[in-house]
């Protein structure tokens, strides 16, 4: 029985790893080479020629920068907004607070698809279509991050706050000096998940941006698909460029990501 | 010292309001205004360039007579099959992962990497894996079984199964992690007690593991249904123009085509609203129904 589990696990893992390994291997092959059997994977020559070709033919470097820059902005701003709101919702009582919390929660109930068309119009009216701002702002108010962080702030005892208040510390000082350091693990999890979500986001950038200087990597992928339908090396190169940074990030922060995901699943 | 001075309190409230203003403003501008506008638009005809005209229920009449609408609805419902299949596989994998096997962390990483990969990249990758002539999957089928594999993305009967297979590959790892967390939360005393009573492996699974995992089942089903109803990117890459005989178009894809290809903004809004209400009803139904089977401690 133990052998069965062992072999089965390995078989499943190979099955799951296979497509991505194929992608990586193909991306370092030469164009027009036949890669049909696994043996071909391990036979040289390998080359980065196609990478070079794509970098000169498309705006790959610019797209990668856009993806990175937007993801960093979205992550930092989301963290700031969600932490501040989650903190107030958890620790500073005042009138109408519950009402406001429901207001934020309502954002979870509204399906993104139903708002996409008018959102496009709103962005157009604000003049932020085809701009970094248009890519960043609409995705910031994440009720999900606020709720998760609120539940973390709930776990911090009130005594701690009161002692700072006794010393004359205001809301800002409590927030920066006590709340943020104590919720660091949660903040890290949310930061990574937000970064990945932004990096992978396709639908909104795809609708709101037409200028290819502002493309993110996921938007660059379809342009290559239409151009070169015959050969699969080029598509796999841009695929690799789009996926590899996220995979590396995942390998580095795997523990925090898994923890964040399981927590949100269990609490949600 | 216990009573705060009114001045202090006022300052605290001002800070608090500043703290929660951004998400509330964001919600107003990017959710509430659009959803209200969208509701209005669904009773109008509007092409974005000329002023919108009130058209009453025309959009809805057109929708319920449009064959493409029903097709996209059917396709989306078909893709829901992936939810239970994914549950079974991910639970099974989680149970495998929950044993003290060597290299478990590596396995978990392998199952999870597809989940965090960009869906567009994943779709393009699978387009090539599933290619009828040069795809490596059909190559395998030919080498192992000696038969020609299906025309995955070109045959209307195979497009949806292709989506499901790709969805399983890209989604099972995420649910597996949730199930793993669920399994680790089950106290071993239950199993010990069952063993004392002589319960078989299967009985332990059926009467302990399965019911105690029910909150996870519930979460996985709810999120799976919502996610399926919202799927778009895969279809955009793998089923150009809805695929052969529109067999690969989901509702969101249909909305996208109507809005941003034909510029029927008013009509697309009404379909979006129908979709929103559909998701809402399904989710509500699941919450209602959940009281009967989800175990709460």
Closest chain B CA to residue A195: B116
In this prediction, residue B234 has a pLDDT band, given cuts at 50, 70 and 90, of very high
Q: Are residues B172 and B86 in contact, defined by beta-carbon separation less than 8 angstroms?
A: yes
Q: Report the C-alpha gap between B211 and B110 in whole angstroms.
A: 28
CA distance A2 to A10: 13
What share of chain B in percent tops pLDDT 90?
Answer: 64
HSE of B57, CA atoms in CB hemisphere, 13 A: 3
Over residues B167-173, mean pLDDT: 95
What part of A 146-175 touches B (C-beta under 8 Å)? Answer: 146, 165-166, 170-172, 175
Q: Which residue of A has its CA nearest to B23?
A: A141
What are A224's two structure tokens?
């290559």
Percent of chain A with pLDDT over 70: 92
Interface list for A 198-227 with B (CB within 8 A): 199-200, 202-203, 207, 217-219, 221-222, 225
**pLDDT per position as a tens digit, A185-214:** 889 989 999 999 999 999 999 999 999 999
- Does B27 sit within 8 Å of A117, measured CB to CB? no
Mean pLDDT for B192-217 is 92
Residue identified by tokens 């499901």 is: B164
Is A4 a residue whose pLDDT tops 90?
Answer: no
For residue B87, what pLDDT is reported?
A: 97
CB atoms within 10 A of CB B148: 10
- Residue B44 φ/ψ, nearest 5 degrees: -130, 165
Q: How far apart are CA B113 and CA A245, in angstroms?
A: 12
- Token digits of residue B103: 């290299």
Can you read off the two tokens belonging to residue A33? 């080479």
Sequence-ordered list of residues with C-beta below 8 angstroms from that of A31, at least 6 positions apart, any chain: A49, A50, A53, A231, A233, A234
Domain regions of chain A by residue span? 21-267
**Can you list the alpha helix ranges (DSSP code H) found in A92-232?**
97-109, 112-126, 132-136, 143-154, 158-166, 171-174, 180-182, 184-200, 203-208, 217-227
* Burial (CB count <10 Å: 0-12, 13-18, 19+), residue B256: buried
The answer to whether the CB atoms of B125 and A140 lie below 8 A apart is: no
pLDDT of A163 higher than 90: no
Q: What angle do CA B260, B262, B265 make, to 5 degrees?
A: 65
> Is A32 touching B (CB cutoff 8 A)?
no
Do A196 and B116 count as a contact with CB atoms less than 8 A apart?
yes
The string of pLDDT tens digits covering residues B116-149 is: 999 999 999 999 899 888 788 998 898 889 999 9
| Predicted pLDDT at A226 | 57
d(CA B107, CA B97): 8
* Cβ neighbours, 10 Å, residue B261: 10
In this predicted structure, the answer to whether residue B1 has a pLDDT above a threshold of 50 is no
Instruction: Taking the CA atoms of B23, A101, B34 and A72 in sequence, report the sign of the dihedral they define.
Output: positive
Q: Does B6 have pLDDT greater than 80?
A: no
Residue A138 Cα, gap to closest chain B Cα (Å): 6
Residue that the structure tokens 């070709």 belong to: A53
A100 interfaces chain B, CB cutoff of 8 Å: yes
Pairing mode, strands B44-45 and B53-54? antiparallel
Query: Are the beta carbons of B125 and A236 separated by less than 8 Å?
Result: yes
CB contact under 8 A, B37 and A118: yes
Closest CA to B240 of A226, A201, A208, A242: A226
Asked if pLDDT for residue B297 goes beyond 70, the answer is no
Of the candidates A96, A97, A86, the one whose C-alpha atom is nearest the C-alpha of residue A151 is A86
Q: What is the pLDDT of residue B156?
A: 94
Q: According to the model, what pLDDT value does residue A200 have?
A: 94
Confidence of residue B104 (pLDDT cuts 50, 70, 90): confident
Contacts B49 to A, Cβ<8 Å: none
Given a cut of 90, is residue B114 above it in pLDDT? yes
Q: Per-residue pLDDT tens for A223-258?
A: 877 544 567 788 889 999 999 999 999 999 998 888
Q: Which of B176, B186, B233, B230 is nearest to B211 (CA)?
A: B186
Backbone angles phi, psi at B198, to 5 degrees: 80, 25
pTM of the full structure: 0.90
Per-chain mean pLDDT for chain A: 86
Q: Give all domains of chain B, ordered by start, each with its CATH number.
A: 6-41 (no CATH), 62-293 (1.10.3720.10)
Cβ(B238)–Cβ(B253) below 8 Å: no
The 8 Å CB, 24+ separation contacts for B250-255 are B250/B72, B250/B75, B250/B76, B250/B79, B251/B72, B251/B73, B251/B76, B251/B275, B252/A113, B253/B72, B254/B68, B254/B69, B254/B72, B255/A113, B255/A116, B255/A117
For the segment B215-219, the average pLDDT, to the nearest whole number, is 92
Is A171 in Cβ contact with B15 (below 8 Å)? yes
φ/ψ (deg, to 5) at B286: -65, -40
Identify which of A82, A115, A166 has the shortest CB distance to residue B38.
A115
Least confident of A223-237, B5-19, B276-290: A223-237
Cα–Cα distance for residue pair A43/A22, rounded to 1 Å:
13
Q: pLDDT tens for residues B42-62?
A: 999 998 888 889 999 999 999
Per the model's pLDDT, the better-predicted residue between B33 and A261 turns out to be B33
> Average pLDDT of chain B?
90
Record: contact A13-B272, CB cut-off 8 A = no
Kindly indicate whether the ipTM for this predicted assembly is greater than 0.85, answering yes or no. yes
Q: Cα-atom radius of gyration of chain A, to the nearest Å?
A: 23
Element (H, E) at B201: helix B201-204
Mean predicted confidence (pLDDT) in A156-166: 82
As its CATH architecture, domain A21-267 has Orthogonal Bundle (1.10)
Q: What share of chain A is helix, strand, coil (3-state, %, to 5)?
A: 80, 0, 20
Average pLDDT over residues A102-123: 81
| Tokens 């009582």, residue located | A93
pLDDT tens, position by position, A60-73: 999 999 999 999 99
When pLDDT is cut at 50, 70 and 90, the band that residue B153 belongs to is very high
Q: At what angle do helices B67-79 and B214-229 cross, to 10 degrees?
A: 150
Q: How confident is the model at residue A158 (pLDDT cuts 50, 70, 90)?
A: confident
Split at pLDDT 50, 70, 90, the class of B158 is: very high
Q: What integer pLDDT is reported at residue A35 of this predicted model?
A: 65
For residues B145-156, give the mean pLDDT: 92
CA B173 to chain centroid, in Å, comes to 14
pLDDT at A268 over 50: no
For position B14, what pLDDT does the model report?
A: 87
The contacts of residue A164 (CB under 8 Å, 6+ apart) are: A173, A174, A177, A178
């Amino acid at each position: 029985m133990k052998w069965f589990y062992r072999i089965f696990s390995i078989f499943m893992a190979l099955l799951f790893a296979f497509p991505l390994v194929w992608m990586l291997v193909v991306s370092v092959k030469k164009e027009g080479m036949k890669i049909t059997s696994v043996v071909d994977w391990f036979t040289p020559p390998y080359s980065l020629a196609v990478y070079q070709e794509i970098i000169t033919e498309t705006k790959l470097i610019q797209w990668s920068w856009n993806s990175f820059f937007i993801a960093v902005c979205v992550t930092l701003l989301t963290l700031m907004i969600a932490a501040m709101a989650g903190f107030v919702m958890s620790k500073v009582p005042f009138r109408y607070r519950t009402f406001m919390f429901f207001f934020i929660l309502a954002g979870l109930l509204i399906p993104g698809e139903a708002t996409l068309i008018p959102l496009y119009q709103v962005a157009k009216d604000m003049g932020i279509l085809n701009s970094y701002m248009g890519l960043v702002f609409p995705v910031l108010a994440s009720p999900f991050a606020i709720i998760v962080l609120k539940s973390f702030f709930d776990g911090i005892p009130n005594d701690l706050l009161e002692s700072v208040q006794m010393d004359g510390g205001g809301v800002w000082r409590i927030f920066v000096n006590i709340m943020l350091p104590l919720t660091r693990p949660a903040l890290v999890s949310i930061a990574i998940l937000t970064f990945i979500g932004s990096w992978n986001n396709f639908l909104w950038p795809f609708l709101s941006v037409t200028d290819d200087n502002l493309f993110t990597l996921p938007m660059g992928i379809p342009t290559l698909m239409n151009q070169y339908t015959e050969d699969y090396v080029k598509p796999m190169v841009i695929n690799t460029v789009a996926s590899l940074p996220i995979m590396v990030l995942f390998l580095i922060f795997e523990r925090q990501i898994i923890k964040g995901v399981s927590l949100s699943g269990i609490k949600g | 010292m216990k009573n705060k001075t009114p001045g202090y309190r006022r300052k605290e409230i001002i800070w608090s309001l500043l703290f929660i203003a951004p998400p509330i403003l964001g919600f107003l501008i990017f959710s509430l205004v659009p959803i209200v506008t969208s509701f209005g638009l669904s009773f109008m005809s509007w092409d974005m360039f000329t002023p919108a005209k009130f058209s009453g229920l025309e959009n809805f009449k057109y929708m319920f007579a449009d064959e493409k609408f029903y097709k996209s609805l059917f396709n989306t419902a078909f893709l829901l099959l992936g939810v239970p299949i994914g549950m079974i596989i991910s639970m099974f994998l989680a149970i495998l992962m929950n044993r003290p096997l060597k290299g478990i962390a590596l396995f978990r990483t392998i199952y999870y990497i597809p989940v965090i990969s960009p869906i567009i990249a994943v779709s393009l990758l699978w387009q090539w894996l599933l290619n009828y002539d040069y795809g490596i999957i059909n190559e395998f089928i030919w080498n192992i079984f000696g038969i020609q594999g299906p025309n995955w993305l070109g045959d209307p009967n195979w497009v949806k199964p292709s989506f499901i297979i790709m969805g399983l590959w890209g989604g099972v790892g995420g649910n597996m992690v949730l199930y793993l967390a669920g399994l680790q939360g089950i106290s071993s005393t239950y199993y010990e007690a069952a063993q004392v009573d002589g319960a078989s492996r299967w009985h332990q699974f059926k009467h302990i593991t399965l019911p105690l995992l029910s909150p996870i089942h519930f979460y996985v089903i709810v999120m799976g249904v919502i996610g399926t109803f919202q799927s778009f990117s895969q279809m955009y890459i793998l089923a150009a123009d809805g695929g052969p005989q529109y067999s690969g178009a989901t509702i969101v894809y249909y909305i996208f085509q109507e809005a941003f290809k034909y510029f029927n903004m008013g009509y697309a809004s009404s379909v979006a609203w129908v979709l929103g209400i559909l998701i809402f009803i399904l989710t509500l139904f699941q919450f209602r129904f959940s009281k009967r089977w989800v175990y709460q401690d």
